[in-house]
Chain A
Amino acid sequence: MKGYLRADGRKGIRNVILVTYLVECAHHVARSVVADSTDDEVQLIGFPGCYPNEYSLKIMEGLCSHPNVGGVLIVSLGCEGFNREQLAKTVEASGRPVETLVIQQSGGTRKTIEAGLSSVSRLREIADQTELVPMAMNELVVGTICGGSDGTSGIGANPAVGRCFDKLIEDDAICMFEETGELIGCEQIMAERAITPELGVEIIKSVEKAEDYYTRMGYGSFAPGNAEGGLSTQEEKSMGAYAKSGSSKIHGLIKPGDIPTQGGLYLMDVVPDGDPMFGFPNIVDSAEIVEMIASGSHIILFTTGRGSVVGSAISPVIKVCANPETYENLSEDMDINAGKVINGEATVDQVGEEIYQLVKEVAQGKQSKSEELGHQEFVLTYKKFEGIGPSCLPTIR
């Protein structure tokens, strides 16, 4: 396996040029640069709001200095609140080429798009000089999420991802799972898996926070499709989702944008701190994917029962389908048929091994289905977090 060596020592499995807009007003210009570029690995990300927000700056910094990223073009309208200077400084400090275009100073839409196309070519030339070096499994970061879950998710796909995670952690890779609102009911058993009792307490607190937050919002993290697919309650969905974490010890509790440095399993607390302020913790699966990528994930394992088709900018998404009927219907979108488990045609261990092998192949450059189909979904909105406490990342192993 080989990776693109970045200045901070991390290695990437892709070499993407990002075009990022910092307010909705700059979206069209940024999108046009990406659309008009002949470079397949130029991707669009962005932030819609005009008010500044520490969280979105931190996430954007994490994304623009992600190991899979080789260069960044920042597109600003000019008067928005996003701290473009800070973002550019962070990217520059990460050793990547970065250019900023301010529409109000660049002669408007057409001229900024033209300037953007030249920027992207320059960034690509520099990114292409990045050295490809040997990369080991313990340098890989893999996140997992479930979306469009149904009554089959917890039987086939989620436990199989759990087995894959166990194998990756044996290789000393970093693995992360998330969505504490979908782990309601699992807090005690998770706490028992923490490497220190103090971390266990933090995990329980994070799930209690999620329960309180979702209760105040008036909805659990439970979609109509979950019910149609046979899931009746939040805790039933949780127990299925929890299986994605496998059986390893939990090494830490991180928040979006925190980047683990030691191999092991990490839980990401995605529910904002304090009183509900900006709405639902995660408005859609893609927002959670973006957070795990900002925390360094090279690859996302996405399990589904009803059948999600999403991918992501920056990091490949591998789709694992639990429901055999869905797999038949949406096979072009699915990388792994975990429906074989419920059909009795394969064991959870066998499907787990299949996922593990595909992770290696995708890390070596093979395109996942969502990549092939051009999926590059991206969502980033407002949130508010406090930093993690000292018990959340114990250093003992």
Chain B
Amino acid sequence: MNDIVTTKLSKSFGKKAVLKDFTATFKAGKVTNIMGSSGCGKTTLLNILMGLEKADSGRVSGVPNHISAVFQEYRLCEEFSAVSNILMVTGKRVKTSEIERHLRMLGLGDSLHEPVQGLSGGMKQRVVLVRAVLHNGDVLFLDEAFKGLDIDTKSKAIIYVREHAQGKTIINITHDLQETAQMGGKLIKMENQ
């Protein structure tokens, strides 16, 4: 597994420059937290790294093909259950019982087979965390992955991610300094352009 390196990345939407000559190295197998005020380009950076957006200029290297993500939105198939949503990304590689065990770890034991459209925001957030962890990508992109969780659940969720994504490259976008301390690793502060 290689380090992910961005070199002089720039991206504008219309006349608004969101990223300007952004250069950074995300160490392989380590956690990198990214903080910065709203609109400073954190999500755009993640989208470029995930291949969802193209940078206007600059270079990205070291992103493997097999990646996992927690997006800012849940991006769940609302008609399907939590277990089914995770099966969608894992396929038969992960057994249903294993998925259920992981969801129970985050306190979702009562809602395993309910359509996710009936779950609360916090519950959906935990489902997408388990989905990203069980997908078992080499890199885990987390875009405000712990938002909407109460303090206890958030701590549990962070411990869950740290334990089950150990040894993977984790890029974690957050607004919460305490969260970065719990996640460990490096901290990059991004500025508005």
Question: Does A associate with B in a complex?
Answer: no
Question: Which B residues form the contact surface with A (CB < 8 A)?
Answer: none
